Structure 1
Amino acid sequence: MSLYAVSVFPKCMTKNFTYNTKIARGDIMSNQHPDFVLPKDFCANPREAYTIPAYFYTQQAAFEHEKERVFTNSWICMAHGSEVAQPNDYITREIIGENIVIVRGRDSVLRAFYNVCPHRGHQLLSGEGKAKNVITCPYHAWTFKLDGELAHARNCENVTNFDKDRATLFPVRLEEYAGFIFINMNPDAESVEQQLPGLQDKVFEACPDVHELKLAARFTTRTPANWKNIVDNYMECYHCEPAHPGFADSVQIDRYWHTMHGNWSLQFGYAKPSEKSFKFEEGEESSFHGFWLWPCSMFNVPPLKGMMTVIYEFPVDAETTLQNYDIYFTNEELTEDQKALIEWYRNVFRPEDLRLVESVQKGLKSRGYRGQGRIMADDKGSGISEHGIAHFHNLVAKVFQE
């Protein structure tokens, strides 16, 4: 398999919401606390909606609330199933300060654990790879089976009332869904299908070979932007023509629709061949599918057979988001056209979006920004309408109720 890897570590006025102008200008004093409450009907009517106030994107207090209300109680997509397909395969991911290890046991069962030793808190594994039959803590050499059971703790036989059953790895809920791996830090959470009803069937319809996909390239960025800023950018194609000329050259914007399905949405449209981006023969399947999954994952099925791209967001703090932009193909040996397409994503398309969200994050803190922006949702729900942002902000508002 040819794997390309790149690491780049490089901020509304509504009738029923008022805000502190100092907060909107980004110069709130440390002893002042903004009112992080939004009305229940916030953005309920997309055609009259304004965005979430800027400080929801910049203040750590808002992010701390989201950590508990959103990220520890939602299914988050971690990776494609192919990354841990064989026994002893493992990967690690970090989100909201929690490091998670996902490992396939010798029994072929996929499990997730907090990547921390129960003895003194040392991290157990890093990166990804092939685990041995036991995981050994680098600090005091406690060992754990791949199902999380304690295998051995040095000198435990001489410790009074040492309880091996209370020294296991702490599990994290995991489900494999639509070819991908999801985790939830809430042990009592509903299923992925209950959170995202109907999504799996649509993904299978858009990409029948989703289980056969293999990672071909990954672009990792530590993006100086709030996670909602990144989702906002994904939820509209109003910016496509001015900001993505290569992509816009392929998409038929008059045949482009964005439909809402509760906790997920689907952008669907038709494409035309372009030398600037997607090359395919006239008459071939030419549809785009773009899935947004609450809270912050995006699946993209371009107008090419056996291909998919995924944006994984792993929020770090109010103004930092770790992102993996993964490109998948069903074939292991890449064609020259596929290699060229990867380079287009790496050098053109991906940097275009990164520049946008980084600039917005700075602008949201400017004294020249009025605190909220008008959502450009038109009556027709056209390809350039921003009604998707209104839908997303309505869901976010439910997290910030009194």
Structure 2
Amino acid sequence: MTLQEHCRIEPLDQAHALHASFYTEPHWLEFEQRAVFGGTWQLAAHSGELQAAGDHVVGDIAGKPIIIVRQADGSLQAFFNVCRHRAGPLATCNGKGARALHCKYHGWTYELDGALRAATEMQDARDFDKSAVRLQGIRVREWQGLVFVALDASAPPFEQVFAGIAGRIAPTELSQMRFAKRDTYKLECNWKVYIDNFLEGYHLPFVHPGLSKVLDYRVYDTELAQWHSLQHSPLRNNDGIYGDGNAWYYFIYPNIMLNITPGRLQTNRILPAGHGHCIVEFDYYYTDDPEVQARVQAEQAFSDEIQAEDISICEHVQQGLASGSYSAGRLNPKRESGVWHFQNLLRAAYARHG
């Protein structure tokens, strides 16, 4: 089949899964870094890491080094973490209260807003205009205590990507939750396998017997928006793990999950680590409510159990995709609409960039 045929959008009740070659052929990763991760809003930090002027966070987004800096007026600015002299880093780790950004290679100094303040020993450079040099900026947004960046101007408007989420989860305020810990996992599967798995509850009765008792599979539902999807269910029989209320599982295209239960936010960031491996970062945030704090240990142990089950099935699926015996199966319209939605966004990206 041609790329155009692989990228054809089918109605949900006639839809096939994405072809196995997108999960197994190495050349797709370079394209995805550029056009998928580089062309979307990416989770890069938490507001708690950037509380005061000069606080800064460094990171890697779509294979490119970035730095986010809190300004004196309270706003955030983000830049490529690349000196305009000879590409040295402005910082090699997160920091607090910096008054300026100093290149670690040759000492060029930038204001927090990216303007060049001083260029070491450049007095003999003819026609060198210090005022014309500044760090290359990146779009940055702060939302519900989370900080996102977009490398490419073609990324959709932030308000469009996150439309309706804050209102839907109200009165919950994610910004009121404090960071507790990060767990990092490396999986032997393509990054898309892990996301496909997240996006459907079809596997719950077969892979997650414990979670199936907590979520009501009969009313487990998926809702689709333009750039995100939501799976939700009432909570039940959870023996002090989550508390009373609802579970909200948001997926933000292409690789961010917001798992919200009463008093808790768990963010997942899925990063490719080669075409056949991925890294999954779990960050936990909780309110200070004593009832919530009393559940933390049990909730994290339960999350570890679910994650072990997901790792096992995802790695087996990757083996199946690479077996040569599978191409693209039919999707379940009732249970796999989230997979269909995600894969269609990918198809559009693949087709758009050829």
> TM over 0.5, yes or no?
yes
Counterparts of 1:115 and 1:38 in 2: how far apart (Å)?
40
Q: CA separation in 1, counterparts of 2:43 and 2:167?
A: 17
2:332 to 376, 390, 400: 376
**1:14 paired residue number:** none
- Tell me whether 1:88 sits opposite 2:54 in the alignment: yes
**Structure-2 separation of matches of 1:262 and 1:189:** 13
The number of aligned residues is 351
Q: Distance in 1 between matches of 2:70 and 2:77?
A: 6
User: Do 1:313 and 1:321's aligned partners in 2 also have CA atoms closer than 8 Å?
Assistant: yes
* 2:247 equivalent in structure 1: 288
Match of 2:176 among 212, 227, 230: 212
Amino acid at match of 2:200: E
In structure 2, what residue type is equivalent to 1:363? Answer: G
Q: Does the CA contact (< 8 Å) of 2:40 and 2:156 recur in 1? A: no
Highest RCO, 1 vs 2 (Cα 8 Å, sep ≥ 6)? 1
Structure 1: which 5+ residue stretches go unaligned?
1-17, 19-34
| 2:331 counterpart of 1:364 | no
**Could you tell me which amino acid in structure 2 is paired with residue 309 of structure 1?**
Q
Distance (Å, rounded) in 2 between the aligned partners of 1:129 and 1:342: 29
Deviations 1:199-230 (A, max 9, x none): 34324x2x622111111111123433322212
> Once the 2 structures are TM-superposed, how far is the Cα of residue 39 of structure 1 from its aligned partner?
5.5
Partner of 1:46: 12
Q: Which amino acid aligns with 2:47?
A: G
Alignment CA distance shift 1:40-1:97 (3 Å): closer
Find the counterpart in structure 2 of residue 335 from structure 1.
Answer: 293
1:177 aligns with 2:152: no
| Superposed displacement of residue 354, structure 1 | 2.3
Q: Structure 2 length normalisation: TM-score?
A: 0.90
Once the two structures are superposed, the pairs formed by residues 253-402 of structure 1 within 5 Å of their partners are: 253-275=217-239, 278-280=241-243, 284=244, 286-302=245-261, 304=262, 306-331=263-288, 335-345=293-303, 347-367=304-324, 369-377=325-333, 381=334, 385-401=335-351
**1:251 counterpart residue number:** 215
CA 1:386–1:171 in structure 2 vs 1: closer, same or farther (change >3 Å)?
Answer: same
Give me the whole-angstrom Cα distance separating, in 2, the residues matched to 1:190 and 1:392.
15
Q: Is the 8 A contact 2:191 2:277 kept in 1?
A: yes
Q: What does the per-residue CA deviation read over 1:126-175, in whole Å, with 9 as the maximum and x for residues that have no partner?
A: 33231521122221112222211112121022222222234322111111
Partner residue in 1 for 2:34: 68
Residues 323/117 of structure 1: CA separation in 2 closer, same or farther (3 Å cut) = farther
Aligned to 2:4: 37
**Structure in which a larger fraction of residues adopt helix:** 2
Aligned match of 1:10: none
Contact 2:178 2:287 in 1 (8 A): yes
The answer on whether the counterparts of 1:50 and 1:374 sit within 8 Å (CA) in structure 2 is yes
One-letter amino acid matched to 2:124? N
**1:177–1:192: 8 Å Cα contact kept in structure 2?**
no
Q: SS where residue 130 of structure 1 aligns?
A: coil
Indicate whether 1:225 and 2:184 are aligned. Answer: no
Residue 3 of structure 2 aligns with an amino acid whose one-letter code is F
